[in-house]
Homo-oligomer: A and B are copies of this chain.
Amino acid sequence: MTRPRVRDLGLLLGDLPPGPENAITDVAGVRVGHTTLCRGEGPLRPGEGPVRTGVTVILPHDGNLFRHKVPAAVHTINGFGKATGFEQVRELGTLEAPIALTNTLNVGLVADALVQHAIRQSPEIGIQTGSVNVVVGECNDGYLNDLQGRHVRAEQVWAALEAATAGPVAEGAVGAGTGTRGFSWKAGIGTASRVLPADLGAFTVGALVQTNMGRPGDLILAGFPVGRHLRPPQPGCSSLSYAQGRTACGFSFAETAGAEKGSIMIVLATDAPLTAHQLRRLGVRVAAGLARTGSTLSHGSGDFVIAFSTAYRLPHKPPALTLDRPMVVAGRVLNRLFQAVVESVEEAVVNSLFCAETVVGRDGHTAYALPTAEAVALVQQARRGERP
């Protein structure tokens, strides 16, 4: 029984139309897989549980990525995080392994699992050819999850790779989003897409996010400051309105500040033929999409973007000294691609909140599902008022 996405509830964000699934998988060839780990409850036993975490993988195409790389770029909005594999993407502009997202202390083990997977697919790695670069992003799900246990192991990563499919993408408290929060609500994985007009190439942009950032009061929905009216229940008190003040029910500043320690990982895919240099420029626009949801890009939030194009492949062993590649040269296409990034990132974050069920984790810590009907009603009331 899945919760409805924002568009299912009648709220349209942005101006460009989404693709058929309104998901990163609308970019042909892209697949997404999750492994969700949810076991144990009660007090935290460091290293053992409770476990509320997982891994999400994104694959640009269904071939051998090491042998047939895709153009890619990374962009670090705020580098307070443990993402790995960024240096080589920045230098070479290519992606040669699936992207994985997980929890913050699990990056090493997940990276190692991806290395093992690459070796299995391309046994020449480390023997006839050098090495393989894997990209892993992360958020800190320690409010709900036993972080120290690093519970995502190689088997879970491989299972997610096995499970990866095109088509609809599970959102909310799944995979790497199992234990994350957004604006102090339960959040998780979200996705969305946008399609350019036919006379601008009909290119698709898709975004997938692992949301774990934002202060409770800052949430913006469809341009409306929903966070001023709706706050997650605090221990011992119910949701409170902004008018009641920030410190009611023990809503202390420290707690708010703690909420800013979250992060967000953003994966962008497109079928537009972009160079690595242009893909980085797409990544820069993610900040505007995040800002539309209320983010102020806080100090403690590791905000990282990985962007790739599926428009062409770069062979590990090139058949010639030079190759011809297509490249977007029209500024108006770039502008619409940038707009597509802003809109699909905004909607992906919102979906990551709308689709996430309430989760109770370590020490009884509870991340509440956003009351989406109430949130949408607030927006619609405002929109009625808005009409001249």
Contacts from A to B (Cβ < 8 Å): 15, 44, 46, 76-88, 90-93, 104-105, 107-115, 119, 123, 125-127, 130-134, 140, 142, 147-148, 150, 200-201, 217, 220, 223-225, 229, 241, 253, 257, 260-261, 273, 275-277, 281, 284-285, 287-292, 295-300, 302, 304, 314-315, 318, 320-335, 338-339, 342, 378, 381-388
Contact = CB atoms under 8 A, between A and B. Distances in A.
A384 B217 CA distance: 19
Contact of A335 (B15, B123, B126, B260): B260
Residue of A80, A109, A318 ringed by the most chain B CB atoms within 10 A: A80
Given A112-B150, A130-B142, A131-B140, A326 B324 contact: yes
Nearest to A15: B217
Chain A interface secondary structure, helix, strand, loop or mixed? mixed
Contacts of A339: 296
Contacts of A126: 46, 104-105, 140, 142, 147-148
Contacts of A386: 224-225, 229, 378, 381-382, 385
Given A76-B91, A201-B321, A382-B382, 18 more contacts: A15-B217, A46-B127, A79-B87, A79-B88, A80-B92, A82-B87, A86-B86, A108-B115, A112-B150, A127-B142, A127-B148, A273-B322, A277-B277, A299-B338, A300-B331, A323-B326, A324-B327, A381-B387
A241 B388 contact: yes
Given A109-B112, A130-B261, A385-B386, A287 B291 contact: yes
Contact of A324 (B285, B304, B324): B324
In the complex, the count of this chain's copies comes to 4
Contacts of A314: 329
A342 B288 CA distance: 12
A299 B328 CA distance: 12
17 contacts: A15-B217, A79-B91, A80-B88, A82-B84, A84-B84, A108-B110, A119-B148, A126-B147, A130-B142, A131-B147, A224-B224, A275-B276, A285-B296, A287-B291, A288-B295, A291-B291, A382-B385
